[in-house]
């Protein structure tokens, strides 16, 4: 099975070897790390990448010196697949790596598997010796991998599906040819693939890993203060001038945000993306439209016809059930607390889900809300969502014995599933 529906402890997590851009000291970090403080020189860095990260495994030291190395691409995806059926929205956790090669030659390892977990990855560097094979696009790779799922599963094709990702990267794995056989360059062990035959190396389209990873100094561009952030946080904070930043290309870009005032220093600030979007061809622009399409048990008030509709999504990783629950609850309640541009001393949950994924989740939110679902679902599949405004909003949740509670939303998040592993 390609889709390992895992318990938390079985989740695959790769390690990546980095170097401090200031002093060159090595730093082995998790694959989701985006901000780090060098253990030697204490310099702070944000790790920035255009699009997705491109990693590679090193060629075994035992590989013959004169061999010609071919790096084959694998897509790495960790996230949740939401499948929208006529009967409702289903979800499953996915933690996969899949060979991104056309035709998917059968004798080449289809996934990187658990064995590679023990080895650290490196950033794919342009000056690496060898050939890099251009990856098949992610969707085509995943579609091919779906063919490997059982017929029983296939008979239940959803009307549409969305993959909301937590981790998305490309990993190159080295291979070389020995006695007409393709050899796994990590293990230095021949695969069953004959070359040529099972794989025609000369026909593969090549590329170079050009879009390099950039390290940006973790210093506030506005005031020069040290930025703070959790290792996996997409957003870093300047606690001096109360600004939030996100790495974009080779610079830091300011993030539009607002905080609802916490009533108590113990309240935990939970981040959400608040999105306004055009949804062609669906005419859903006002809150009244949502109440009607969702068949909500409310009488449409005249002022709701002009009340702009916002979609919300958690800006952090959370279990699918809670993710969907929050999305729908926020859409129904449409909270509109006064917001301030001030980072209080409270604990702020790190932002670990990008806004692009939140935009993608709008379709799922709609599929959980509209009634009757069968009338709307085919239309939702073709919906084109264009965000017109995105703001990061922190809402204070009150800690209770077993959960965190938001009064206006009347929503609780279990303490066990909200890992308060760090502050913003
Ligand atoms: Zn350093
Ligand atoms: Zn600042």
- In a 3-state reduction of DSSP, which class is residue 42? coil
**Do 138 and 103 have their domain in common?**
yes
Residue finishing a domain among 157, 185, 207:
207
**Do 289 and 183 have their domain in common?**
no
Confirm if 91 and 83 have CB atoms less than 8 A apart.
yes
Mean pLDDT of 162-186: 91
Q: pLDDT tens across 101-123, in order?
A: 987 788 888 888 766 678 899 99
Q: Angle 362-369/320-333 helices, nearest 10 degrees?
A: 70
Pairing of strands 403-406, 53-56: unpaired
Containing 399, the helix (H) or strand (E) segment is strand 384-399
Ligand of minimum distance to the alpha carbon of 24? 1
Pairing of strands 384-399, 257-260: parallel
Residue 391 pLDDT exceeds 90: yes
User: Whole-angstrom Cα distance, residue 130 to residue 208?
Assistant: 10
**Do 72 and 179 have their domain in common?**
yes
How many domains does one find in the chain? 2
**Do 237 and 198 have their domain in common?**
no
Ligand of minimum distance to the alpha carbon of 37? 1
Residue finishing a domain among 166, 183, 207:
207
**Do 243 and 117 have their domain in common?**
no
Ligand of minimum distance to the alpha carbon of 20? 1
**Do 273 and 342 have their domain in common?**
yes
Ligand of minimum distance to the alpha carbon of 236? 2
User: Whole-angstrom Cα distance, residue 70 to residue 108?
Assistant: 13
**Do 225 and 331 have their domain in common?**
yes
CA distances from 120 to 103, 173, 398, 413 (A): 28, 12, 40, 35
Q: pLDDT tens across 249-306, in order?
A: 999 999 999 999 999 999 999 999 999 999 988 888 899 999 999 999 999 999 999 9
Q: Is residue 142 part of a domain?
A: yes
Ligand of minimum distance to the alpha carbon of 23? 1
Q: Name the residue range of residue 258's domain.
A: 218-414
Q: Is residue 419 part of a domain?
A: no
Containing 12, the helix (H) or strand (E) segment is none
Ligand 2 centroid, distance to 86 Cα (angstroms): 49
Ligand 1 centroid, distance to 217 Cα (angstroms): 11
Q: Which residue has the higher pLDDT, 115 or 408?
A: 408
**Do 201 and 96 have their domain in common?**
yes
User: Whole-angstrom Cα distance, residue 300 to residue 57?
Assistant: 58
Ligand 2 centroid, distance to 245 Cα (angstroms): 10
Ligand of minimum distance to the alpha carbon of 38? 1
**Do 187 and 72 have their domain in common?**
yes
User: Whole-angstrom Cα distance, residue 379 to residue 385?
Assistant: 12
Q: How confident is the model at residue 335 (pLDDT cuts 50, 70, 90)?
A: very high
Q: How confident is the model at residue 209 (pLDDT cuts 50, 70, 90)?
A: confident
Give the pLDDT of residue 203: 82
Ligand 1 centroid, distance to 42 Cα (angstroms): 6
Q: How confident is the model at residue 1 (pLDDT cuts 50, 70, 90)?
A: very low
% of residues, the chain, pLDDT over 90: 65
Plot region of 47 (φ>0 → left; ψ -120 to 50 → alpha; else → beta): beta
Ligand 2 centroid, distance to 188 Cα (angstroms): 50
């Amino acid at each position: 099975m390609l889709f390992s529906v895992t318990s938390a402890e079985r989740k695959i997590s790769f390690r990546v070897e980095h170097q401090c851009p200031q002093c060159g000291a090595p730093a082995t970090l998790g694959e989701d790390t985006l901000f780090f403080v060098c253990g030697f020189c204490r310099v702070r860095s944000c790790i920035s990448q255009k699009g997705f990260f491109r990693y590679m495994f090193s060629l075994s030291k035992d590989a013959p010196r004169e061999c010609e190395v071919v790096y084959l691409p694998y897509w790495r995806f960790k996230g949740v697949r939401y499948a929208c059926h006529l009967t409702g929205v289903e979800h499953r956790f996915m933690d996969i790596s899949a060979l991104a090669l056309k035709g998917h030659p059968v004798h080449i390892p289809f996934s990187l598997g658990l064995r590679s977990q023990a080895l650290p990855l490196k950033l794919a560097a342009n000056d690496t010796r060898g050939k890099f094979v251009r990856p098949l696009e992610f969707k085509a790779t995943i579609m091919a991998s779906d063919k490997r799922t059982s017929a029983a599963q296939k008979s239940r094709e959803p009307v549409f599906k969305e993959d909301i990702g937590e981790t998305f990267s490309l990993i190159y794995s080295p291979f070389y040819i020995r006695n007409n056989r393709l050899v796994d360059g990590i293990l230095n062990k021949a695969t069953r693939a004959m070359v040529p035959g099972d794989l025609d190396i000369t026909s593969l389209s090549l590329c170079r890993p050009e879009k390099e990873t950039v390290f940006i100094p973790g210093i506030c561009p506005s005031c020069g203060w040290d930025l703070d952030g959790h290792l996996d946080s997409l957003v870093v904070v300047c606690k001096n001038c109360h600004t939030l930043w996100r790495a974009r290309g080779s610079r830091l870009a300011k993030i539009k945000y607002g905080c609802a005032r916490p009533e108590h220093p113990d309240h935990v600030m939970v981040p959400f993306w608040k999105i306004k979007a055009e949804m062609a061809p669906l005419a859903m622009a006002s809150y009244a439209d949502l109440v009607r399409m969702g068949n909500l048990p409310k009488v449409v008030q005249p002022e709701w016809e002009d009340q702009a509709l916002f979609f919300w999504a958690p800006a952090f990783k959370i279990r699918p059930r809670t993710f969907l629950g929050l999305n729908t609850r926020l859409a129904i309640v449409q909270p509109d607390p006064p917001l301030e541009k001030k980072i209080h001393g409270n604990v702020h949950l790190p932002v670990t889900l990008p806004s692009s994924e939140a935009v993608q989740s709008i379709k799922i939110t709609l599929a959980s809300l509209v009634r009757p679902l069968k009338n709307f679902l085919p239309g939702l599949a073709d919906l084109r969502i264009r965000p017109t405004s995105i703001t990061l909003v922190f809402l204070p949740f009150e800690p209770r014995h077993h959960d965190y509670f938001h009064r206006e939303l009347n929503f609780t998040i279990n303490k066990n599933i909200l890992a308060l592993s760090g502050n913003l």
